[in-house]
Chain A
C-alpha cells in the first residue's frame, strides 16, 4: 500500500483549505470502508487522506416539518437505529439493515456510500425513490442537486473538485405512501447486491397510483431511476398485469452487464420479478384501508 498522510481537520473551513492545497492529490475519507479498500487494492494513489471525522455537525438526522435532513457523516448504524428512518423512510431502512455487517455499519457513512458512486451502493436506490437531494458545499457557497442528476458514471458524480457532500434533503413522504428496497444477494450479510430495487408509491384514496418512483442498482453504470416504468404506473391500479408490465418496462430501461457477481440476463429477469414484489410491499406499507 502506498504511503500517505492522514489529515484530520476540525472545521469545514480547514477542510476546504486542505482541499485547495492538495487538489487532486487528496482524497476525502469518511468511514473508510470504500476508500481503504481502493487504497489497498492499488486503485487510488492519494498523497493525502483528508478525514471528515473530526468536523463537527456532519452527522445528524433532522425530522423537520416537511423534510428530513441527514448529515453525510451519519453512519449506517445511526440510520438503522433511528425511529425516524425506520418509520418514515422505510426503503432506506431496508437498505441500511442489510449493508455489510454491524461492524461496517458502525463506521460506513451514508455520504460515503453515495459519493463513492458505485452502481451497487445500497442507499442510492432508496434515496432516489425518496426524491432526495444532495447539498453540496464549497468555500464559495452551496448548491442543491437532485440525486437523480448526481451520478455520472461509476465512481463519478457532478461534485466539483472543491465540493463536499454535506447532507441529504428528503421531502417527507405523504400519507398513503410507502416505500421498500430489496437487495438481491447471494448471502445475507457481507455482500453487495447482484441487483437492488427500490420503489416508492404515493397512492390516491381510490387505490390508484398517484406517484411512483423506481430505483435500480447494479442495473446500469450508475444507480438509475426507471422513469418509463414510473410513468406507466401513474394513475394505474396495482393489478398483476400492471405490475408485470411495469417490471418489463423497467427491465428494458436498464442496461445491466455481465460481471463475476452476476449475469446481465439474470439481472434483467430479476428486475421484472423484484419490481412486482417491491411494489407490492410498498403498496402494503402505504396502508390504504
Chain B
C-alpha cells in the first residue's frame, strides 16, 4: 500500500497558503457590502451591577447614527449552553464585558463616538471573583433565576460531573504509595490573528444572511434561526457564509453576542451591519479557556502499577455558560484513560463568578486535566522510587484495552511515543549524568482521534461533482480554520480517483450550498471529511469506470484510473484500452441521453454519546502522544530555557507530514505559552492585559527546538489509517515542562503559568526548608 500512494503521505503545501501569505485571501476584515453600516458595542462599567436606566437620546441624535439598541428596545434573545445569557443586558450586568447597548452608524468612528454619548446608570453590587467563595452556600447570587425563570439557590451550574469506575476507596487501601496534590490553571486566550467579526443582512422576506467566521456553520444556523424566532420571525431561515477565517482554536465553537447584536442592528436598520472587534475587544470580550482548581490523588503498587486516580475539580465558569461549560466531559478522557488505571473517581463543579465567561479552547479541558494528571504521575513515580519514564511504560495503554470509561482502544502507539521521546532526550543518560540546573521531563496525552459524539450527530456531508475537463469539485461542510483539511481532502480524493490534488477544488463555507457537518472541533475534521471523501470518491469512480467499461467493452472491475488516465488493470501498457479521464467525461456528458457524474455521502463515525454515567466509546479511535523536553533553569532569574523538545504523536497515518508538523509546531508554541508565559490577568473581573504587549504569546524569536516524531499505527477506521491531530500536540506540553523543571532544580510548580517569580519563590522555600 505505502509505495502505491501517489498523493497521500506527501508533503503537499497547504492549498490556501499562497493566497494567505500574499494578502489575497478575503477575511471578514476585508469584506464590505454596499450601504453597509458599522456596529459598535457598549460594555459594562462594572463587574456586577443593576442597570437602573439607559439613556440613548444623545447618541441617537448624533449625525451618522442609524440605530441605537438596548435590551429595552429589542426582543430578548437568550444564548449560551444553558441559555443563561441575554444578548443585551437590561436587569443586571454580571461581568465587565456585558453588552448593554449597541450602535450602528455610517462609519466606525461615529459609532464609537455615539457609544460615549450613551448614559447608563448602575447600582453596583458586590462581586464574586474567587470560585472558592462563589461555591459557598451563603454567597451572593450571580443569577437569581435559571433560563426558565426557576429561582436558583446557589452559583453552582446544574451540570454535575461525576464519573465512577471500580472502587477507589478499596484501591487506596491496597496501594503501597499514594500522593495527593492540588493544581491551579488560569485563563489563557486563543490569540487568533484575525479578530472576530461578522456582517449581518436581511432580505426583503426577512431571511438572514450572515458572513461569519464560525467554525460550526450548521449549529450556528440553528442558533441564529432560534434568534429569528425570538425576534418574531419564526420560520425564517439563516444562510451562514464563511469568509476566510483567521484562526479558531475553539473560539468560534459558540455563536457569540456580537453576532446577535449585528443581527438586531441589521434588522432594525434594514442595512448590512458589520461588527469587527478591535484587538482589545478580542482579549476582553472573547471568552478564554476556563481556569480550574484541581485536586488529584493517585496510588500505585510497589511494582509501579497504578491502582487508582481520584480527581475533584472546581472550574471558574465566569458569568455565563458557553459550550465550554461541558469541558469536564473531555477532562474525563485523560483522567479515566491516560495510562491503565483500574479505579477512577472524578467529580467536577463549575461555578458562576463575575469573571469573564469561559469557552472552548484547543484541547477542550484536556490541557488543564493533563497538567494535573501528568504532574502527579511524576510525583507518584518519585514517591515509589521509579524512573518517571519507566513508570509511564509500566502503565502504558495498549491496543485492545477497554478503559474505565468504556473507551475501546483500537490502535495505540503510546509505548512507541514514550520510547522515541526518551531516545531523543537521551533520557537514561540525562538522568544518570545529571547536569546542574538542567532537567528532563515528559508527559503523554490521550485525546479523541476519531470524532467525538458530543451532539446528536457527529456526521459530515459531502458532495462531489466532476466537470467536462476532469476537474472535481468537492462541496464540503468542513470549515477550514487553518488546520489544512482542504489540503488533505484534496489529497485523499485525488488518491482515490487517480488524479492530482490540484484537480480538486474545494467548495465550502455556505450553509445553503454545502451539506451538513457538525463543525470543526474535537480534532475531527480530517478524520470525518477524509472518510467522507473516500466514500464519495469511490462512488464517483465506480460511475466513471462503469461508463468506461461499456465503452471498452470490458468488466469495469478490470479498470482503474491513474494519472488522470483510465486503463486496463491487466494490460496497463495497452494504449488501445486507455482513455484520458476528461475525454471519457465529455463523451458521457455529450452522448445521447448523456449523463453528469456526481455523488454525495453523509459519513457519521461509529462512536457513542456518553451515557448518564459518562461512559461510552466517545470516539471511534483515540490519539496518543508524548512530549518530552530538556530545560535549563537560571536559578538567579528564574528564567526557563527549553533546550530540547520532542513531540511524538500516534497520528494513525500522516496524510500530509508537512501539515502535521505544522500542527505540532504551532501547538508546541501554544503549549509552551500555557506553561510559561501566557495568562489573562484579571483584577476584580477586569482584564488588565488586553493587548499583545502584555499578553505574552511567544514569538518566532523565542525559538523552541521542536522535533516532531510521527508514529503511524494505521487505524482501521481512519481515512487511510489517519487519526485526529488538531488539538493533541498542545495538551502535554505544560506538564512536560513542569516535570523537567522539577528534575532540573527540585522544585514543583503547581500553578500555571510557571513564571520566573514562582520559580524563585519556590527555590527560596526549598532553601529555607534545607
Binding site for B on A (CB under 8 A): 1, 3, 101, 184, 186-192, 260-263, 266, 269-270, 273-274
Contact = CB atoms under 8 A, between A and B. Distances in A.
A189 B109 contact: no
Interface stretch (B154-162, B354-362, B558-566, B699-707): B699-707
Contact of B699 (A184, A188, A262, A263): A188
Given A187-B677, A187-B696, A260-B689, A1 B760 contact: no
Interface of B: 109, 112, 636-637, 677, 681, 688-689, 692-694, 696, 698-702, 756-757, 760
Chain A CB within 10 Å, residue with most, of B637, B698, B757 = B637
B109 A191 contact: no
Contacts of A261: 694
A273 B757 CA distance: 14
A189 B637 contact: no
Given A188-B701, A190-B699, A263-B757, A1 B109 contact: yes
A266 B689 contact: no
Nearest to A192: B693
Contacts of B692: 190
Contacts of B681: 260
A192 B691 CA distance: 13
B705 to A, nearest CB: 14
Contact of B696 (A1, A186, A263, A266): A186
A184 B756 CA distance: 11
Contacts of A274: 637
Nearest to B757: A266
Contact of A273 (B636, B689, B698, B700): B636
Contact of B637 (A101, A187, A273): A273
Contacts of B700: 189
A269 B694 contact: no
B699 A269 contact: no
Contacts of A273: 636-637
Contacts of B689: 260
A75 B688 CA distance: 31
Nearest to A194: B756
Q: Considering the complex of A and B, which 4 residue pairs feature the smallest CB-CB distances, nearest first?
A: A189-B701, A188-B701, A273-B636, A189-B699
A266 B757 CA distance: 7
9 contacts: A101-B699, A187-B696, A187-B698, A188-B699, A189-B699, A190-B699, A191-B693, A192-B693, A273-B637
B330 to A, nearest CB: 30
Nearest to B755: A186
A183 B336 CA distance: 45
Contacts of B677: 186-187
Contacts of B694: 260-261
Contacts of A187: 677, 696, 698-699, 701-702
A187 B109 CA distance: 34
Nearest to B698: A187
A262 B677 CA distance: 12
Nearest to A266: B757
A86 B702 CA distance: 23
B180 to A, nearest CB: 30
Contacts of B696: 186-187, 191
A175 B699 CA distance: 38
Given A191-B696, A261-B694, A263-B757, 20 more contacts: A1-B112, A3-B109, A186-B677, A187-B696, A187-B701, A188-B699, A188-B702, A189-B699, A189-B700, A190-B692, A190-B693, A260-B681, A260-B694, A266-B756, A266-B757, A266-B760, A269-B760, A270-B637, A273-B636, A274-B637
Contacts of A266: 756-757, 760
Contacts of B693: 190-192
Nearest to B673: A187
Contacts of B701: 187-189
A261 B689 CA distance: 9
A161 B760 CA distance: 45
A102 B677 CA distance: 22
A44 to B, nearest CB: 16
A187 B696 CA distance: 7
A208 B764 CA distance: 34
A1 B696 CA distance: 25
Nearest to A186: B696
Contacts of B112: 1
Nearest to B636: A273
Contacts of A262: 757
A3 B700 CA distance: 35
B637 to A, nearest CB: 6
Contacts of A186: 677, 696
Nearest to B280: A41
Contacts of A188: 699, 701-702
A37 B371 CA distance: 37
Contact of A189 (B702, B756, B760): B702
Nearest to B689: A260
Find the residue from B688, B689, B760 having the highest chain A CB count within 10 A: B760
B637 A184 contact: yes
Nearest to A269: B760
Contacts of A263: 757
A101 B689 CA distance: 20
A269 B756 CA distance: 12
Contacts of B637: 184, 270, 273-274
A273 B639 CA distance: 12
A133 B698 CA distance: 36
A261 B694 CA distance: 7
Contacts of A269: 760
Nearest to A189: B701
Nearest to B694: A260
B688 A260 contact: yes
Nearest to B683: A260
Nearest to A185: B696
B695 to A, nearest CB: 10
Nearest to A261: B694
Nearest to B279: A40
B700 to A, nearest CB: 7
Nearest to B696: A186
A191 B691 CA distance: 12
B111 to A, nearest CB: 12
B731 to A, nearest CB: 22
A237 B253 CA distance: 63
Contacts of B699: 101, 187-190
Nearest to A276: B636
A190 B637 CA distance: 20
Q: Which of A3, A184, A186 has the most CB of B within 10 A?
A: A186
A186 B698 CA distance: 9
A225 B699 CA distance: 32
B662 to A, nearest CB: 21
- Residue from A184, A188, A190 whose CB has the most chain B CB atoms within 10 Å: A190
A119 to B, nearest CB: 15
B632 to A, nearest CB: 15
A1 B692 CA distance: 19
A2 to B, nearest CB: 9
B685 to A, nearest CB: 15
B110 to A, nearest CB: 11
Contacts of B636: 273
A278 to B, nearest CB: 12
Nearest to A265: B757
B422 to A, nearest CB: 29
B187 to A, nearest CB: 13
